[in-house]
Amino acid sequence: MLKIIDKYILKRYLVTFTVMLLMFIPIGIVIDVSEKVNKMIENKAPFKEIASYYLDFTIYFANLLFPIFLFLSVIWFTSKLANNTEIIAILSSGISFSRFLRPYIVGATIVSVFALIMSVFLVPSASAGYKNFRYTYLIGNGQNEIRDNSDVFRQISKDEYIFVSNFNEISKTAFYFSMEKFDNDKLKYKLVANRIKWDEKTKKYTLFNYTKRKVGAFGDIIESGEKKDTVFNFDLEDLTPVVYIAETLPLNELHKFIDKEKSRGSSNINVYLVVLYKKYSIPVSAFILTIIAVSVSSMKRRGGMGTNLAIGIVLAFAFVFLDKVFGVLAEKSTAPPLLAVWTPNIVFGILAIYLLRNAKR
């Protein structure tokens, strides 16, 4: 009997979560198409790339909104169980609330493992494709996306700095490039170019319309030209915007990239660490949100399912709000990134324990 109930609850858990995803993702796609279709037509985006973009869009936003979908789906079907007095019948048969919670924890484990696999293997490439398409074909309506891919300033060694106005991942081209080298806080030389393009075959960079000024004690030496192939001591990813590159790297490459940036003394290291830590914190939130959702919705209320959903929506958006606030706090301040990223889980974990104790009573 108990195994039948476990299978029944677990099935409802997984099916409701899947249906919730399948319902809201198409709505998001329709809204995005309605906003961007004119720009796609103007910029002649190929159908193949549009299809690829919306596949990436699905993965990207499913991962981004995963906590909300999970929370609302658990509240939805648990409230239905409560309204149908099924939970009362289960608990009246002598099953403890902790035992009743077991299939929910199994479901949360399955969902969290799935979310972790997505975060490690699928989301980085989806994030790259999503952002590349918006940058390439949605210029105009996508000004916010353009700013995400612009104004990259990076220290590549103790005394060398590079800057690019914006970067195109598809063509491996950066625009309005400049590189400065200092010696004891004095400028030694400065190189500027309208464009810099990476050649995968030759493993060299090509400068277009460049000027190099060497600062001398008795006069500057200026070199200029329309085109020049050269080698630099920085990697292609150094031309990529801060968050952009971190979101698009697989887990093992992200670890290597962070180690390299730490050795350089990068000022953006907190941004990379936030992306890394979120890969682990989001799957863990599945357990916390599941416990909160069951605790809130397992009681039969006067307002019925509507009251439970209202509470669920408020708590879900409060979680997302805290996640965003502390993520930005870690990126823009001296707050420890690990603590900032895990603070929403800690706060809601305490709330989950409190609600669970009340639900048991």
**Euclidean distance between CA atoms 224 and 219, whole angstroms:** 16
Give the HSE-up count for residue 171: Cα atoms under 13 Å, Cβ half-sphere: 12
CA distance 161 to 239: 11
What confidence score (pLDDT) does residue 69 get?
A: 87
| pLDDT in the model for residue 2 | 56
Q: Which helix (H) or strand (E) holds 149?
A: none
pLDDT attached to residue 119: 87
Question: Is the whole-model pTM more than 0.75?
Answer: no
Count of CB atoms within 10 A of residue 42's CB?
13
Question: What does the pLDDT look like over 248-270, one tens digit per residue?
Answer: 888 888 888 888 878 766 777 88
Find out whether 349 and 326 touch, Cβ atoms under 8 Å. Answer: no
The pLDDT assigned to 174 comes to 87
Write the pLDDT tens digit of every residue in 54-113.
Answer: 999 999 888 888 888 888 899 988 888 888 888 888 888 888 888 889 999 999 999 999
Say what the pLDDT of residue 349 is: 93
Say which residue the tokens 């996306």 belong to.
145
DSSP per-residue string spanning 78-118: HHHHHHTTHHHHHHHTT--HHHHTHHHHHHHHHHHHHHHHI
Alpha-carbon distance of 241 to 116, in angstroms, equals 24
Query: Can you list the residues of the chain whose pLDDT is less than 70?
Result: 1-2, 139-150, 170, 241-244, 264-265, 301-304, 360-361
The whole-angstrom separation of Cα 203 and Cα 207 is 13
pLDDT at 242: 60
Neighbouring CB atoms inside 10 A of 107's CB total 23
Give one DSSP letter per residue of 300-334, joined into a string. Answer: --TTTHHHHHHHHHHHHHHHHHHHHHHHHHHHHSS
Give pLDDT, residue 108: 92
DSSP helix/strand/coil, 205: strand
